[in-house]
Structure 1
């Protein structure tokens, strides 16, 4: 019976059309285009009392020299419990989150076609937030990724009955606020040592990737990624990871900073706020991407935009 239900969710909608990935994406809407063919979905949908799910969707599109193959991987889960595993999982989760979803929604997208959206607190599993994630083999506009995430999240909450809140809505499309290669605006890190993808403009979400000058272009070319967020459901992802001690003398925050990365949590105008950094595949092993040197400079640059009083002395 469960298999039949899963098949119906994949192939049918109330109006008789086909829908894919837990029934979230109708066949005549994004991400599909006219002429797409050979659609195959391998999925395990969420259900009552089961806040886990996955879907791998593949299809072919285009003709001749414009032919292509696309694959989307959708996942619902709460991530690992063990601290080191959870830190690694969060590092991957936020690894490409450049563009926050609008209206304060607890999620983000990237031009690469990745994104994440956190479900309401009533959908938590053992105190860990449930998250819908999306990965694409081909780049997608952030607007498309955002729409797909919202549709999948709404479908997940509907099938699991984990919340009585109304469905999520995008009042306008997410769009990058900065151009590629704009400075990260981190004083003390000269532009000659790298470029970033973002500036500290959002008051509740900021992400910045810095590229080393010797790194090859491409999605794996970042030397360091910085993230700051005050969106409550995103902050909740880091619960239990920052401890109750300052990372160094003079800090007005809890957390840690070492050669492998940095994570601190602070009170910013009454809002719990998380700041994080990790080094990337193009790490230069210089002050550009050494968390002990670069992370305090990042916090200094972004804290005021997040509504924080200075978080460290001097």
Structure 2
């Protein structure tokens, strides 16, 4: 409440002027001013905390909820009409923090058609140490057989709904590209996976302010692979069932897995997986892993080939290009999935389509 300060009066003439009211700040005791300032600061802090909580829960006053950092609105994919019991456990990325996670679970369907779905979303740059990073990349590319369209730096797995997309270079952490990774308990169409990845990547870059580039966009849907070529179209290998992008005629991304049997490939039934890419942000994932020596005499590339896997980097028409192979859980221990036998044949089959002059002699 404002308080009154009596005017000074003369000893001889009484002052009949009514008392004046002072300003609530001018002449206010210092303790009162500090209390008012503290109250204002606490009010601002409470407002900021409320806004942060509002953003983290991704609830908006004018619309519905959006899950996983605000990437996926509740009335759009991956949800279907009638989905229920949605639970999200998430840690969003933020300024200076290029890491994040989200586990999203829900139920759908009724009766015999009932199902439970779970999506795991991650943002990270992977391990620094070379051997750990190679293992991480092997898992990352383990099911990536459908490249995202328009040369976007990512891929999906048609069979499982997993996928990954790499953020722009300005979002790197200690020189390692930041990657948005998605895993799905139930298979998703590649088109759905691609949309979810792009939405999550755009949300991550907005939350972290790590780039000024325009948002990523899919101008058309990723096409699921229908290829079923014997031995992944690799001449010289024994006849075997192959799945993936099949014919190595893509100019910047190729992936294929072989099973060694006539049975359809499943998540654990592949004997070997081959990958080649010239998409710059995907190639950057392998920086520092191929060394500066050829894998064997006569090679025009840097890298290594051994019994467990192969990784080389070469110049293909002025574009850095990576070729990789790793053996899988259904390995036959024959030349079909021995990197020392199969990988050179794979490079021969794919390199020309990547714009490479021959990468090995003879």
Residue 166 to residue 107, structure 1, CA distance change in 2 (3 Å): same
Residue 192 to residue 3, structure 1, CA distance change in 2 (3 Å): same
Q: Give the match's secondary structure for 1:201.
A: coil
C-alpha contact (below 8 Å) 2:123/2:178 kept by paired residues: yes
C-alpha contact (below 8 Å) 1:195/1:212 kept by paired residues: no
C-alpha separation in 1, matches of 2:348 and 2:326: 17
C-alpha separation in 2, matches of 1:249 and 1:180: 34
Q: Which protein has the larger Cα radius of gyration, Structure 1 or Structure 2?
A: 2
Q: Which runs of 4+ in 1 moved over 4 A?
A: 1-4, 180-183, 192-197, 214-217
C-alpha separation in 2, matches of 1:294 and 1:273: 19
C-alpha separation in 2, matches of 1:73 and 1:11: 17
Moved more, 15-24 or 31-40: 15-24
C-alpha separation in 2, matches of 1:295 and 1:14: 56
C-alpha separation in 1, matches of 2:262 and 2:330: 8
Shift of 1:111: 2.9
C-alpha contact (below 8 Å) 1:283/1:289 kept by paired residues: yes
Unaligned runs of 5+ in 2: 1-47
Aligned length in residues: 314
Tell me which of 260, 271, 290 is aligned to 2:319.
271
* Matching residue of 2:146: 99
C-alpha contact (below 8 Å) 1:10/1:41 kept by paired residues: no
Residue 85 to residue 28, structure 1, CA distance change in 2 (3 Å): same
Q: Give the match's secondary structure for 1:74.
A: strand
Q: Give the match's secondary structure for 2:138.
A: helix
Shift of 1:265: 0.1
Q: Give the match's secondary structure for 2:133.
A: helix
Residues 291-313 of structure 1: CA deviation (Å, up to 9, x unaligned): 00000000000001101000000
The structure, 1 or 2, with the larger RCO (C-alpha pairs under 8 Å, 6+ apart) is: 1
Shift of 1:201: 2.1
Moved more, 185-194 or 5-14: 5-14
C-alpha separation in 1, matches of 2:53 and 2:335: 51
C-alpha contact (below 8 Å) 1:58/1:71 kept by paired residues: yes
Shift of 1:178: 3.3
Residue 48 to residue 186, structure 1, CA distance change in 2 (3 Å): same
Shift of 1:202: 1.0
Residues 198-241 of structure 1: CA deviation (Å, up to 9, x unaligned): 22121000001011228785211000000000000000000000
- TM-score, L = length of structure 2: 0.83
Residue 190 to residue 164, structure 1, CA distance change in 2 (3 Å): same
C-alpha contact (below 8 Å) 2:242/2:256 kept by paired residues: no
Q: Give the match's secondary structure for 2:266.
A: coil
Residues 69-111 of structure 1: CA deviation (Å, up to 9, x unaligned): 0000000000000000000000000000000000000000033
Residue 14 to residue 170, structure 1, CA distance change in 2 (3 Å): farther
Residue 2 to residue 213, structure 1, CA distance change in 2 (3 Å): farther
Residues 236-283 of structure 1: CA deviation (Å, up to 9, x unaligned): 000000000000000000000000100000000000000000000000
Unaligned runs of 5+ in 1: none
C-alpha contact (below 8 Å) 1:9/1:20 kept by paired residues: no
* Matching residue of 1:115: 163
Shift of 1:197: 5.7
Residue 180 to residue 37, structure 1, CA distance change in 2 (3 Å): farther
Residues 142-175 of structure 1: CA deviation (Å, up to 9, x unaligned): 0000000000000000000000000000000001
Residues 97-126 of structure 1: CA deviation (Å, up to 9, x unaligned): 000000000000033110000000000000
Alpha-carbon RMSD across the aligned residues, in angstroms, is 1.8
Shift of 1:3: 9.2
